[in-house]
Amino acid sequence: MPSALPSTSAAPVLRVEDLTLAFGGVKALAGVGFEVQPGSITAVIGPNGAGKTSLFNTISGFYCPSAGRVRFEGADITRVPAPRRAAMGLARSFQNIALFRGMTVLDNIKLGRHAHLKTNVFDALFYVGRARREEAELRRDVEERIIDFLEIDHIRHASVAALPYGLQKRVEMARALAMQPKVLMLDEPVAGMNREETEDMARFILDVRREWGITVLMVEHDMGMVMDLSDHVVVLNFGQVIAQGTPQQVQADPEVVRAYLGAGDVGALRRKLRGEAVTP
């Protein structure tokens, strides 16, 4: 019973139930269910086209599923618009960087904070004087903490377009952190990075959890990193959960091996899942 939900003690911070999403005839998601435990690093893996990005887009509210639910801290948010989900504490990065390239690093980070601005007219009317000053100070504190944490002080006034890819990814993470999320969703955080950039990012992801107490849900192709960092791994194939568990459990699962290699070389996949170099 590979897609059964694990029995766990803590209440999940995020829970998806039976999610189904189709594009025309293509079922990108077909009954996907799993839980994310608070304080965990949970990874979603799977071959190309498995439905990972579709799942992320559905959880963050960019796509509306034809069936199933998304629950955040117990509340059904399946019909809650994306910006509202971000304000509730569900922040994300994108597989293809979605920064404002003409703007500076600092301005991009400030934009992240706008998820928290009051939008209600009543609130806005009474949101004056001292409260506003306190909010501005708090914001500056948060921005400075993030800049310090991600080691991007030296580029705060640089235009994003001029930065190398690895740093752009870091700025994207900074912007997501500026939303002060409870759950940080990262879509392929180390895709296209070299070894050193990948190791830096892995360290930041671990520190996000350790220093900020933020739960991380990531989609990632780099198996070595997934297996090193994750507490829980969910494996998708053809829009379905084919296995989930600890990295060790998932690596040992024959379904996972088959999904990645078809009838190919199982030994090579095992090495790949362990993060070792694979020579074809």
Ligand X SMILES: Nc1ncnc2c1ncn2[C@@H]1O[C@H](COP(=O)(O)OP(=O)(O)O)[C@@H](O)[C@H]1O
Q: Which residues bind Mg ion (CB under 5 A)?
A: 52-53
51 binds ligand X (CB under 6 A): yes
93 binds ligand X (CB under 6 A): no
Select from Mg ion, ligand X, none the partner in contact with residue 92, using the beta carbon and a kind-dependent cut-off of 5 to 8 Å: none
Helices (H) and strands (E) in the chain, counts: 11, 10
| Sheet bearing 41-45, strands edge to edge | 90-92, 183-187, 215-219, 41-45, 232-237, 240-245
Q: Which of 1, 7, 9, 23 binds ligand X (CB under 6 A)?
A: 23
Nearest distance, CB of residue 52 and Mg ion, angstroms:
5
Question: Which residue's entry shows tokens 């078809």?
Answer: 262
Closer CB to ligand X, residue 7 or residue 48? 48
Of 7-15, 21-29, 203-211, 243-251: span binding ligand X (CB under 6 A):
21-29
The set of residues, in sequence order, having a beta carbon less than 8 Å from that of 86 and lying 6+ positions away, is 60, 92, 115, 179, 181
Nearest distance, CB of residue 274 and ligand X, angstroms:
22
Nearest distance, CB of residue 114 and Mg ion, angstroms:
26
The set of residues, in sequence order, having a beta carbon less than 8 Å from that of 9 and lying 6+ positions away, is none
Handedness of CA 181, 221, 34, 84 (dihedral sign): positive
Q: Which of 15, 19, 37, 46 binds ligand X (CB under 6 A)?
A: 46
Closer CB to Mg ion, residue 146 or residue 234? 234
Q: Which of 7, 48, 120, 279 binds ligand X (CB under 6 A)?
A: 48
Longest dimension (CA), the chain: 67
- Write the burial class of residue 39 (CB in 10 Å: 0-12 exposed, 13-18 middle, 19+ buried): middle
Nearest distance, CB of residue 259 and ligand X, angstroms:
12
Closer CB to ligand X, residue 52 or residue 85? 52
Handedness of CA 55, 209, 119, 172 (dihedral sign): negative
Closer CB to ligand X, residue 96 or residue 119? 96
Q: Closest by alpha carbon to 190, among 233, 244, 226, 154?
A: 226
- Provide the binding-site residues for ligand X, judged by CB under 6 A: 23, 26, 28, 46, 48-54
